[in-house]
Amino acid sequence: MQLEDDLWAATDNLRANIDLESSEYATPVLSLLFLQFADNEYGKADKAINCAPTNNDSPVQ
Percentage, residues of the chain above pLDDT 70: 87
Is the pTM for the entire model greater than 0.85?
A: no
Report the alpha-carbon distance of residue 54 to residue 5 in Å, rounded.
47
Which residue type occupies 17?
N
Q: What is the largest CA-CA distance in the chain?
A: 62
Per-residue pLDDT, 41: 95
pLDDT at 60 over 70: no
Domain coordinates in residue numbering, the chain: 22-46
Write the pLDDT tens digit of every residue in 8-56: 888 888 778 877 777 887 887 888 889 999 999 999 999 988 887 766 6
